[in-house]
Amino acid sequence: MRPKLMALLLIGSVFPAALLAADPPWVARSRIGMVASDSPEASRIGADILAAGGNAFDAAVATSLALAVARPHSTGLGGGGFMLAYLAKEQRVVVLDFRETAPAGATADRFAKLQAQGGDGPSPSIYGGNAIGVPGQLAGLTEILKRFGSLPLKQLAQPALELAQTGFVADEHYLDACTAALADYEKWPQLKQRHARLYETLLGKGTPPKLGDRVKRPDLAEALRLIAKDGPDAFYQGPLGEAVARAAQAAGGTLTRGDLAAYRVREREPIRAVYRDSYEIVSMPPPSSGGVCIAETLNILDAVSLYTKRYFGPEQPHALVEAMKHAFADRARWLGDPDFADVPVKRLTDYNYAVQLARWIEAGKTLASSSYGGVAAPPDDGGTSHFCVADNNGNIVALTETINGPFGSLVVAEPYGIILNNQMDDFAANPGQPNLYGLIQGEANAVAPGKRPLSSMSPTLVFRVRDAKPVLVLGASGGPRIITSVVQVILNIVERRRPLDEAISAARFHHQWLPDEVYFDREPPRELADMLRENGHQISEQRKTSIVQAIQFLEDGTMVGASDPRKGGRPAAPPP
Ligand code: DON
């Protein structure tokens, strides 16, 4: 017998099976509450709030403020987000949209004009003052607290404030984001003058912190102190807002204090789809494309299985790629802010529509890009953070928040260390040109004052149809890959019955209609890649990642929390 095998058998006889099959460190179990975020420090802060008697909404607010400190490249007060939550008492899902809006001065032709004046610098929808949408983050958090919370904002902001003072621990994901940002500062040296604050502080003038170093954020601590004292007024009516408008304008943008004062959170109706008669998927409606694309993709898969009986065969990944292509082609053509464009949500999420599309899907064949979505050629993970919270009363929160690209627009509202988003790039800012995430987008998502840019963020709940009980809450970061990773983790759980850690860590693929390529997050398994090629798909050499956080609800009452190992997060539970 080979020595390794021998050793394993020996260990197996000494240790119980449960110990051998121990959860990886990025998985936690509890029966009383759970926070799964992409930062160990933020998860712990949220779990402490649950332990102190706070509910899931209190914990979500504390976690989000902590993420603003510990994930400066992903989220913060300069961004926005979506919350999809389950109110246990009322057995109802509620959706809040605190996405950024275009400032009043951001007209449809503004980016075309700026491009024309252009020069060789980076795109104005990616870096600088024009990239910044009016932040909705704090308005969203305070709305969550006002309607569903039980503890004062002051108490929930305190742990984040302390973290900002003592410093968060720099991990690999953070250092990767610093390295990527510094590469752009080298590529366009003018950024060092234009966006000096970020360069000189978090980016260490070209020498970022080392792994494990503590990064203090005294300027943000001061912002949190003002928020703890004066609430959202400190931002939307007060000194923080003044600093945001000043920074945006000094960086060439139009954002004013008036834009901030006019900002409103919106409540929305979620998107619903039933998968294989067994699970109801409830997800984010426009201005996210997430819920529509997830529903459309799963409906198509369901219809393929019913009408072609091939679903369980080797063609399944091919059918999934085809379903993704249809959903993303429709995204490009039809989706945008529903307050500004007519978005045919009902038609796109109608099962009969999926049945029509499923008929196009054939083994061994993919179609030309122009055959998807009926649209004629139209005009990476970093800047987002998703977390899930569950409490012992059955409340569940899924919250995805974003500043869009890593470190957003690079513009910092001084002296408060607030990193401002570049969410304007999520509009079809330059018609016909791909955005930061390679997405081509249509007229429904053109820039207009006060409008919200189309998003892919997809906080999602899955209920068992049989007893209407929640079985899974999840969401992701990674631009359009959010949608396809949420779909694949759902399928891994409900279809393939894989444990949550495997469901999340498994290799994922992605197709977004254009570019007409399948992206994997790592070297794909040879057989899978060969099979997709045999079906006519191009496999990209590029690797594109997404990050999923989820909590699974087992029938025995256990909550299993998992933070995607790709980013280094850890879930946390209150002590038993
Ligand atoms: O709302 C959106 O779809 C994008 N702003 C999300 C960007 C993102 O996920 C970046 N990655 N971590």
Give residue 58 CA to ligand 1 midpoint distance, Å: 24
Residue nearest atom 6 in ligand 1 by C-alpha distance: 479
Cβ-proximal residues to 103 (8 Å cutoff; 6+ apart), any chain: 132, 133, 134, 248, 253, 254, 255, 256, 259, 449
The answer to whether the beta carbons of residues 421 and 133 sit under 8 Å apart is yes
Q: Is residue 313 part of a domain?
A: no
Q: Residue ranges of the chain with pLDDT lower than 70?
A: 1-21, 118, 308-315, 374-381
Q: Is residue 306 part of a domain?
A: no
Give residue 403 CA to ligand 1 midpoint distance, Å: 8
What CA–CA distances, in Å, run from 338 to 132, 157, 204, 286?
A: 21, 33, 42, 6
Residue 117, token pair as written in the block: 């004046």
Q: Determine whether the shortest distance from the Cβ of 384 to ligand 1 is under 6 A.
A: yes
Q: Which of 489, 414, 531 is nearest to 36 (CA)?
A: 489
Q: Is residue 365 part of a domain?
A: no
What would the pLDDT profile of 560-573 be if each residue is shown by its tens digit?
999 998 898 999 99
3-state SS of 405-468 is CCCCCCCEECCCCEECCCHHHHCCCCCCCCCCCCCCCCHHHCCCCCCCCCECCCCEEEEECCCC
Q: Is residue 172 part of a domain?
A: no
Q: Cα 548–551–557 angle (5° rounding)?
A: 165
Q: Is residue 359 part of a domain?
A: no
Q: Determine whether the shortest distance from the Cβ of 383 to ligand 1 is under 6 A.
A: yes
Tell me what pLDDT residue 438 has.
79
What CA–CA distances, in Å, run from 238 to 111, 161, 411, 417, 456?
A: 29, 19, 19, 16, 31
- Helices (H), ranges, 38-171: 40-51, 56-70, 110-117, 137-148, 153-166
Using left for φ > 0, alpha for ψ between -120 and 50, and beta otherwise, residue 394 falls in left
Q: Per the omega criterion (within 30 degrees of 0), is the bond before 515 cis?
A: yes
3-state SS of 129-163 is HHHCCECCHHHHHHHHHHHHCCCCHHHHHHHHHHH
Of the candidates 384, 402, 460, 484, the residue annotated as catalytic is 384
Domains in the chain, number? 1
Give residue 479 CA to ligand 1 midpoint distance, Å: 4
Q: Cα 66–419–445 angle (5° rounding)?
A: 105
Atom of ligand 1 nearest to the CA of 380: 11
Q: Determine whether the shortest distance from the Cβ of 290 to ligand 1 is under 6 A.
A: no
Burial (CB < 10 A; 0-12, 13-18, 19+), residue 469, is exposed
Q: Determine whether the shortest distance from the Cβ of 477 to ligand 1 is under 6 A.
A: yes
Atom of ligand 1 nearest to the CA of 405: 10
Q: Is residue 498 part of a domain?
A: yes
Give residue 385 CA to ligand 1 midpoint distance, Å: 8
Count CB atoms within 10 A of the CB of residue 389. 34
Cβ-proximal residues to 429 (8 Å cutoff; 6+ apart), any chain: 111, 123, 125, 435, 447
Q: Which of 301, 137, 291, 128 is nearest to 227 (CA)?
A: 137
Q: Which domain holds residue 456?
A: 23-167+216-285+379-576
Q: Determine whether the shortest distance from the Cβ of 426 to ligand 1 is under 6 A.
A: yes
Q: Is residue 65 part of a domain?
A: yes
Q: How far apart are CA 419 and CA 456, in angstroms?
A: 21
Which secondary structure element, helix H or strand E, spans residue 398, and what is its range? strand 396-404
Distance of alpha carbon 305 from the chain centroid = 29
Q: Determine whether the shortest distance from the Cβ of 478 to ligand 1 is under 6 A.
A: yes
Tell me what pLDDT residue 524 has.
86
Strand bridging mode 279-283 / 214-215: unpaired
Atom of ligand 1 nearest to the CA of 456: 3
What would the pLDDT profile of 291-327 be if each residue is shown by its tens digit?
999 999 999 999 988 776 555 566 688 999 999 999 9
For a ligand 1 pocket test, name from 73, 132, 381, 384 the mutation site with the most ligand atoms within 8 angstroms of its C-beta: 384
Alpha-carbon torsion, ordered 153, 157, 158, 164, to 10 deg: -170
Give residue 8 CA to ligand 1 midpoint distance, Å: 43
What CA–CA distances, in Å, run from 201 to 208, 217, 438?
A: 9, 9, 30
Atom of ligand 1 nearest to the CA of 289: 3
Is 107 a catalytic site residue? no
Atom of ligand 1 nearest to the CA of 403: 5
Give strand pairing partners of 93. 86
Residue with tokens 């796109």: 348
Going by the DSSP 8-state scheme, the letter that residue 205 receives in this structure is G
Q: How far apart are CA 457 and CA 486, in angstroms?
A: 10
Give residue 79 CA to ligand 1 midpoint distance, Å: 11
For a ligand 1 pocket test, name from 283, 404, 477 the mutation site with the most ligand atoms within 8 angstroms of its C-beta: 404
Q: Is residue 323 part of a domain?
A: no
Q: Which of 49, 104, 78 is nearest to 391 (CA)?
A: 49
Residue with tokens 């008669």: 277
Tell me what pLDDT residue 21 has.
67
The domain that contains 447 carries what CATH number?
A: 3.60.20.40
pTM for the whole thing? 0.90
Tell me what pLDDT residue 305 has.
81
Give residue 457 CA to ligand 1 midpoint distance, Å: 7
Q: Determine whether the shortest distance from the Cβ of 455 to ligand 1 is under 6 A.
A: yes
What CA–CA distances, in Å, run from 418 to 198, 250, 410?
A: 10, 15, 10
